[in-house]
Structure 1
Amino acid sequence: MILVYINTLNGIGKASYEAVTYAKKLNEAVHVLTNGSIDDQTLSSLGEYGAQKVSVHRGINAVDSTQICNLISSVAEQINADTIVFSHDYIAKSVAPMLSSKLKVGMVPGAISIPDADGNISVNVFSGKAITKIAINTDKKIISLLPNSIPSEKNETSCVVEELSLEIVEAKIKIVSKKELDGDIPLPEAELVVSAGRGLKGPENWGIVEDLAKTIGAATACSRPVSDIGWRPHHEHVGQTGIAIRPNLYIAAGISGAIQHLAGVNGSKVIVVINTDPEAPFFKAADYGIVGDAFEVLPRLNDSMKRFVAENN
């Protein structure tokens, strides 16, 4: 039996379906566990990807790691789960190590593959510049799956949703306020991302980035220096100390490509770099490179994409 913990604080996203797909590849029996106020009909959609049962606890604090850890531990022991799977998000980074210690089982963080014939699981190392394989020697294991590593696959299964009433220790953390971020596409879920750095020279010039993003249905992002000086909000910062993304297409304009930035974006399937400096380090990681001024390239690219969209709709 595989137990998958789903973080539904902001609904069920692509990463959740990927985690269920991953679990289904490990074992036919997949049990999903979550907490929060999400409705049963939405939860039952997990059955389309292979979940046979979804258990939800309405009384668990969505951000209290101790409560979540205790909930997962209790359910894992009840169903005798062989493996516990997370999507590698902020909850997994906090809860999975705690759970590993509590249950005394091995853990692989940020997995990018299913176990091979020898039980080895691939993970990125050295900021994504290399891949290593990790084997778990305990009978039971915990795996957190790096988003966009395993594509979600429909696998229609009869799914039952049940509500849990387990007694859990009182939460030590409470949500004081919740603010919806600007933008229609959450950055971690985005298939397409348009990003820029200090090469845009100021926040007043960000319109050319937003225009292209709107045309192609992309999320917007930025480098750390840009968020640090207040040109863009911190939730758009991608990189080693920001959000790690793995979109199908990442367009970067005016970003030199420091290793800290690359660590957060090098999982992108296609990287397009636009920079006036032909020696910019980012070109070495690019699938396509344009040596040019972002103020000229982005508007022209936007015009081309508008024509393409118009001709294909």
Structure 2
Amino acid sequence: MSKVLIVAEHLDGKLNTSTAKCVSAAQALSPEAIDIVVLAADPVAVAAEAAQIDGVAKVLTVANDANANAIAQVLAPQVARLAEDYSHVFGPSTTFGKDLMPCVAALLGTAQVSDVMAVESSYTFKRPIYAGNAIITVEAPAEHVVVATVRTASWPEAEKGGSAPVEAASVEATLPSHTRYIGLAAGESDRPDLQSAKRVVSGGRGVGSEENFKIIFDFADKLGAAVGASRAAVDAGYVPNELQVGQTGKIIAPDLYVAIGISGAIQHLTGIKDAGTIVAINKDAEAPIFEIADIGLIGDLFKVLPELESALA
């Protein structure tokens, strides 16, 4: 029987929803147990959140001042030591997971399975390639611990309502000194987090300029939505790259995705194809975005958005 360890992603004492999605992926294995490990300087609050996820057998906490910041080279030796008691170790396919899990796999002497979108068996998984145009089946060796990142856009959040016990774990691992935390450069916003938001409004090259992008922010605020952007808009300097949605940006699956002035390059569509409802606004009737949109509106965004805002008001 499989036994799965999930590495919790958290920031500022709050659990990221990607962890609950990893639990859903782990449940597809029908494992003997699913445990979550929280590595932090003070893991109490995050562990309490993790314990509420349905299907979790227990939550392990590793309290260490060195874990105050998510440095892959520091966390990986601790996760690898804990992994010795498990058949599978899962992390989210977010920036956090993409940074950490390859280090864990290397320490365990195995290859990582990336972007798991479906589970066929305990050691057989499906993942996308070629910008999502093809799905391949990957078989991991049964003699090694399976280290994998979970494609969060492909899995729902596991329900809450659990009451798993929380246990402090003692980990004897040599932590490296060649990597150290300097600081975090991140934009501050009162808007929802792009990676986990239920509603997202994105702008593309058609917005025209950094100044014009204000119309996207204003419309997103009306919807209580996060703001995203196409790579073309990011490359043009309209917004920072942390807002980029697509193959080389963030892969998301909101309930509602509004694409404004975005033509719909395949790399962008890869990042949004799992969205619940896709709305496209573009003056080019031949834009590829309309091929996947559930609702399409052909028109000048600078005329359409003010009208939509008035209707919402």
1:2 touches 1:31 (CA, 8 Å); kept in 2?
Answer: yes
CA distance in 2, matches of 1:269, 1:149: 11
CA displacement at 1:28 relative to structure 2: 4.3
CA displacement at 1:273 relative to structure 2: 1.1
Query: Does 2:71 align with 1:64?
Result: yes
- Counting aligned pairs with the same residue, the percent is 28
CA distance in 1, matches of 2:128, 2:96: 19
CA distance in 2, matches of 1:54, 1:206: 44
* Cross-structure match for 2:257: 250
* Cross-structure match for 1:131: 135
Output aligned runs, 1:103-252, within 5 Å. Answer: 103-113=108-118, 115-116=119-120, 120-139=124-143, 140-152=145-157, 153-154=159-160, 156-162=162-168, 164=170, 166-184=172-190, 185-252=192-259
Of 1-10 and 61-70, the range deviating more from structure 2: 61-70
CA distance in 2, matches of 1:216, 1:37: 36
CA distance in 2, matches of 1:39, 1:71: 15
* Counterpart code for 2:51: G
* Cross-structure match for 1:31: 35
* Cross-structure match for 2:60: 54
CA distance in 2, matches of 1:276, 1:197: 12
SS in 2 for 1:123: strand
Query: Does 2:17 align with 1:17?
Result: no
**Cα gap change, 1:180 to 1:91, in 2 (>3 Å):** closer
Query: Structure 2-normalised TM-score?
Result: 0.87
Of 19-28 and 226-235, the range deviating more from structure 2: 19-28
CA distance in 2, matches of 1:216, 1:38: 35
Gaps of 5+ in 1: 307-313
**Cα gap change, 1:37 to 1:301, in 2 (>3 Å):** farther
CA distance in 2, matches of 1:192, 1:261: 17
SS in 2 for 1:189: coil
* Cross-structure match for 2:10: 8
Residues 206-265 of structure 1, C-alpha deviation per residue, up to 9 Å, x if partnerless?
232122211221101112232223221221122222222222211111111122222322
CA distance in 1, matches of 2:17, 2:109: 30
Q: How many residues align?
A: 303
* Residue of structure 2 aligned with 1:84, choices 80, 89, 97: 89
2:285 touches 2:298 (CA, 8 Å); kept in 1?
Answer: yes
Gaps of 5+ in 2: none
CA displacement at 1:57 relative to structure 2: 3.4
2:153 touches 2:251 (CA, 8 Å); kept in 1?
Answer: no
CA displacement at 1:86 relative to structure 2: 0.7
**Cα gap change, 1:212 to 1:173, in 2 (>3 Å):** same
CA distance in 2, matches of 1:213, 1:85: 33
Query: Does 2:293 align with 1:293?
Result: no
CA displacement at 1:284 relative to structure 2: 1.7
CA distance in 2, matches of 1:117, 1:261: 30
SS in 1 for 2:66: coil
* Counterpart code for 2:126: S
Query: Structure 1-normalised TM-score?
Result: 0.87
* Counterpart code for 2:41: S
Query: Does 2:276 align with 1:266?
Result: no
CA distance in 1, matches of 2:42, 2:117: 28
CA distance in 1, matches of 2:284, 2:38: 48
CA displacement at 1:39 relative to structure 2: 4.2
CA displacement at 1:21 relative to structure 2: 3.5
